Amino acid sequence: MPATAVVLGQELRDLWLGGRALVLSLAFSLLLSAIAYLVATNRALNFLEQRETVNLTLQVAVAVGALLALLTAADAISGERERRTLESLLLTPASRLAIVAGKLVASLSLWLAAFAITIAYVWFLGRGVGIAGDALASGIVVGTLLAIFLASLGILISLFATSNRGSLSLSLFLLLALFAPTQLPSAATSGWAGDLLLRVNPVTAGEHYIGRIVVDGRGWSEDIAWLTSPLIAAAIAAALALAIGAQRLNLSGGASA
Residues lying near other proteins in the complex (CB under 8 A): 1, 3, 6-7, 10, 13-14, 18, 83-85, 87-95, 250-251, 256
Determine the Cα angle at 170 with ends 193 and 105, to 5°.
95
> Which one, 174 or 246, has the nearer CB to other proteins?
246
> Which one, 33 or 252, has the nearer CB to other proteins?
252
Q: Rg of the chain over CA atoms, in angstroms? A: 19
> Which one, 18 or 133, has the nearer CB to other proteins?
18
Rounded-to-integer distance, Cα 155 and Cα 242, Å: 9
The least CB distance from residue 255 to other proteins, in Å, is 11
| Torsion sign across C-alpha atoms 117, 212, 104, 32 | negative
Cβ–Cβ under 8 Å, residues 82 and 163: yes
The least CB distance from residue 9 to other proteins, in Å, is 8
The least CB distance from residue 156 to other proteins, in Å, is 21
The least CB distance from residue 48 to other proteins, in Å, is 43
> Which one, 19 or 191, has the nearer CB to other proteins?
19
Q: 200-218 burial, b for 16+ CB within 10 Å, e for fewer?
A: ebbbbbbbbbbbbbbbeee
